[in-house]
């Protein structure tokens, strides 16, 4: 498998995001926008502390792209949390992993990255896996697909904006702009639709913020240090975590065809990584 700091950082991001998914699902009685508000609040506090410690300019350089990244991330995360709360965990995560496909497609136009024709075949393998999972899980309604596609599209936009900020802004500044943009909008909406957290809800909300902040940091480092097509599909591995957590924590089960879909989604990732390794070896050898 192709290995680099970018790949390692993405694997860490996948692990922390997978834990976050569990806590979001445990908060199914709290509106998704309210969870995003608390997640942004925690992120804002942590970001300010770290930016002060490292004496980094809060406002960054490429403000237009930073704002767009924050806005796209906000929309993507709201729909992301809503889907996780609505359907079984592994099915939700599988639908949400349309995001790497959108990331690669949008990357052609936004950051001018090239995707080898054979990679589209590997993307298709993963996409077929996603369709198997969703097509044979009758707990999924058409509205859930719409929510998942919306979340994936805006996530793909956010990841491309991160890549575009590769040389202009520090990862902590990029992360800081998410709560900066999110809190006013999520706060205003939540004030009109407030559900008071009770007991352990407060601890879980804080953990969602901490885990997401940590995952976001490693994901940002990954996208800044590697080509999108090398690391974006690694997020498919979250399906394995989601299936495990769904089965052991929430008692969720799936058909054999759904398991076959999970296998195809992961296979597409591994094939893509193998192919990128071969391409890199050829480029280094001057072939």
What is the residue range of 11's domain? 5-285
Q: Which of 263, 274, 262 lies closest to 230, judged by CA?
A: 274
Number of domains in the chain: 1
- The pLDDT of residue 146 is 92
- The pLDDT of residue 228 is 66
- The pLDDT of residue 287 is 60
- The pLDDT of residue 280 is 72
Q: How many CB atoms lie within 10 A of CB 125?
A: 18
pLDDT tens, position by position, for the chain (287 residues)?
A: 456 788 889 899 999 999 999 999 999 999 999 999 999 999 999 999 999 999 999 999 999 999 999 999 999 999 999 999 999 998 898 888 788 778 888 988 998 888 888 888 988 998 888 888 777 778 888 899 899 999 999 999 998 999 899 889 998 999 999 999 999 999 999 999 999 999 999 999 999 999 988 998 898 888 777 776 677 667 777 878 898 999 999 999 988 888 888 788 778 877 877 787 787 778 777 66
CB of 70 within 8 A of CB of 177?
A: yes
* CA distances in angstroms from 123 to 47, 100, 226, 233, 242, listed in the order given: 35, 9, 18, 8, 20
DSSP conformational letter for 177: H
């Amino acid at each position: 498998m192709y290995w680099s700091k970018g790949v390692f950082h993405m694997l860490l991001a996948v692990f922390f995001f997978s834990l976050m998914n569990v806590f979001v699902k445990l908060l199914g009685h709290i509106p998704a926008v309210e969870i995003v508000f608390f997640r942004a609040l925690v992120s804002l506090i942590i970001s300010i502390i770290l930016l002060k410690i490292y004496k980094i300019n809060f406002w960054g350089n490429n403000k237009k792209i930073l704002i767009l990244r924050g806005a796209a991330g906000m929309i993507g995360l709201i729909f992301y949390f809503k889907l996780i709360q609505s359907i079984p965990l592994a099915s939700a995560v599988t639908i949400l992993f349309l995001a790497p496909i959108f990331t690669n497609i949008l990357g052609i136009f936004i950051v001018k990255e090239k995707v080898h024709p054979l990679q589209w075949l590997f993307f298709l393998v993963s996409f077929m896996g996603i369709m198997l999972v969703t097509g044979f899980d009758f707990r999924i309604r058409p509205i859930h697909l719409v929510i998942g596609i919306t979340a994936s599209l805006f996530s793909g936009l956010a990841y491309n904006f991160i890549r575009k900020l590769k040389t202009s802004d520090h990862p902590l500044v990029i992360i800081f702009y998410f709560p900066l943009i999110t809190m006013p909008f999520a706060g205003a909406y939540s004030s009109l639709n407030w559900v008071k957290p009770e007991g352990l809800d407060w601890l879980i909300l804080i953990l969602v913020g901490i885990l997401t902040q940590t995952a976001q940091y490693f994901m940002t480092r990954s996208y800044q240090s590697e080509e999108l097509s090398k690391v974006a599909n690694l997020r498919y591995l979250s399906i394995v975590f989601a299936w495990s957590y769904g089965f052991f924590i929430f008692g969720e089960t799936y058909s054999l065809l759904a398991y076959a879909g999970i296998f195809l989604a992961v296979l597409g990732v591994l094939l893509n990584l193998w192919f990128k390794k071969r391409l890199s070896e050829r480029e280094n050898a001057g072939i």
